[in-house]
Amino acid sequence: MKKLEKLKNQKKIFLISKMKIVIACCWSYYNKGDAAIALATIKLIQKIVPNVEITMLAFDHHSFIKHKKELGDSIKVLPMPSITDSLQPLRVLFGTASRVALKGLFGPLFLILSLALMPLLKLFDSQLKCTLRSIDDSHLVIIVGGNYLYSHFGFYIHAIPIVYAKFLRKKKTVMLGHSIGPFEDALSRTVARIILYRMNLVTYREELSSLYVRKNLNVNAPNMFVSCDMSFFLQSPKTTCEVLESQPRVGITVRKWLFNQPNLYKRYIDSITQTAFNLMKDGFEVYLIPFSYIGGGEDDLGPCKIIYSKLSTIYPKKVYLLNVKEESPTSLVKIMGKLGLHIFIGTRMHSVIMASLARIPSIIISYQHFKAHGISQQLGLHNYVISIENITPHRLMTCVEKLLKHYERERTNLIMTIQQLKKINERKICSALLSLIHVD
């Protein structure tokens, strides 16, 4: 009771003096997973601190500005430091060099050089000046979750606002809902270890990342704990166990995954296509839902069109390709629920999370490190995970048949799991943040 009263008193302080919070490392509104993380983080912060001034730092800041109505008119959106006019040439130069030789060296050099030059560059770059000022004026900096803290050049791009806020400006800095690792070289392990040690709060979105950090990076502290992906805090429909419509439907997300061997990508696409054919023979309707529209390796529309063209030649009235580019993450959850999807086959992890919020059990195709296996364990769907490198039509169809066989049990368990996951972790995160936030 005393702790609850203390938290209530803290809230009263916030109403008197406006808090300034920066939410950094957001990606793009057109990747629905990243948009879900950003939106859910904003809504949770506003729930804790009603009188808050929030600034988002995003790579594709124009996409978030276009959708300010969904974020809230009071939210300010600025570019991440590395995409400003003065730092972008450096990022391109060092990023290109890191792909040619000495991969583990150019990332740290880019980070150090960027931080060293920023005091000078901001005199000539108004974008960079505004971005850095937002951090300078903030009471708290939140690094949004995702899966970018591992050995690659992008790790150092994301590290710029982290190091600037915590190490140079001495700001309270927290990391919410992260998958972390693996780090393959000594330099990136050292940088990651230093950053994690200095954070005021770190929450992992799954247990596997927590284990990795403790065992492989030898970092452990009371202010580090396992919670969940922030997108679980999106508003979802009321959880009931109503009987579904008689027409069976399956939702599918795919992505343009870049393998060293081109035949593996073909096998992945063929596995999903053949499984969809098998389900259509059994009376299913198929809904292809691209979850990322950024371009390059993050363009889901391309592979969805490939599968759609194959399916529609034989079953033109049973396959649908949805364009949800401009839809909000919250709307997507509602759309998936209204479609009456029976099951879901998801490569994009956040498509699985949103399907789960809509009470739809999923087959999960794992493509990157810990996140799919770790989050599937939280959802109780760990028996329905297939690695993208090892996928075959037979393996995927076998997994689908197993889910259909145990459908009612898995769906009921999923509904209960989501309720508990949201309730427990919202309380944990809110309590941890409230203990950090105060007006100096």
CATH classification of the domain holding 334:
3.40.50.2000
Phi/psi of residue 225, each to 5°?
-155, 160
Domain check: are 39 and 114 in the same one? yes
Q: What is the pLDDT of residue 14?
A: 47
Span 77-94, mean pLDDT? 95
Burial of residue 208 (CB within 10 Å: 0-12, 13-18, 19+) is buried
Domain check: are 210 and 286 in the same one? no
What residues have CB less than 8 Å from 429, skipping those under 6 apart?
44, 176, 203, 227
| Cα–Cα distance, 297 to 12 (Å, whole number) | 47
Domain check: are 52 and 147 in the same one? yes
Domain check: are 203 and 291 in the same one? no
Element (H, E) at 435: helix 407-436
Neighbours of 415 (CB within 10 A): 15
Element (H, E) at 215: helix 207-216
The upper half-sphere exposure of residue 363, i.e. CA atoms within 13 Å in the direction of its Cβ, equals 30
Yes or no: say if 257 and 268 are a contact pair by the CB < 8 Å rule. Answer: yes
**In total, how many domains does the chain have?**
2
Q: Return the higher-pLDDT residue of 242 and 426.
A: 426
Residue showing tokens 């108004």: 126
Domain check: are 105 and 154 in the same one? yes
Lowest pLDDT segment from 103-107, 201-205, 215-219: 103-107
Residue range 2-58, pLDDT digits in tens: 544 555 455 554 444 689 999 999 999 999 999 999 999 999 999 998 889 999 999
| Cα–Cα distance, 13 to 49 (Å, whole number) | 10
Element (H, E) at 352: helix 349-357
Domain check: are 158 and 24 in the same one? yes
Domain check: are 101 and 224 in the same one? yes
Residue range 376-430, pLDDT digits in tens: 999 999 999 999 999 999 999 999 999 999 999 999 999 999 999 999 999 999 9
Q: Is residue 244 part of a domain?
A: no
What residues have CB less than 8 Å from 299, skipping those under 6 apart?
256, 292, 293
Single pTM value for the model: 0.92
Closest CA to 306 of 290, 285, 282: 290
| Cα–Cα distance, 50 to 18 (Å, whole number) | 9
Q: How does residue 244 score in pLDDT terms, banded at 50, 70 and 90? A: low
Q: Is residue 228 part of a domain?
A: yes
Domain check: are 148 and 279 in the same one? no
Residue range 158-177, pLDDT digits in tens: 999 999 999 999 999 999 99
Q: Is residue 90 part of a domain?
A: yes
Q: Is residue 33 part of a domain?
A: yes
Considering the chain, what is the average pLDDT of its residues?
A: 91
Q: Domain residues for 382?
A: 249-405
Element (H, E) at 344: strand 343-346
Domain check: are 216 and 128 in the same one? yes
DSSP assignment of 62-120: HHHHHTHHHH-TT-EEEE-GGGSTTTHHHHHHHHHHHHHS-HHHHHHHHHHHHHHHHHH
Residue showing tokens 């145990």: 406
Yes or no: say if 173 and 199 are a contact pair by the CB < 8 Å rule. Answer: yes
Yes or no: say if 239 and 415 are a contact pair by the CB < 8 Å rule. Answer: yes
Domain check: are 200 and 121 in the same one? yes
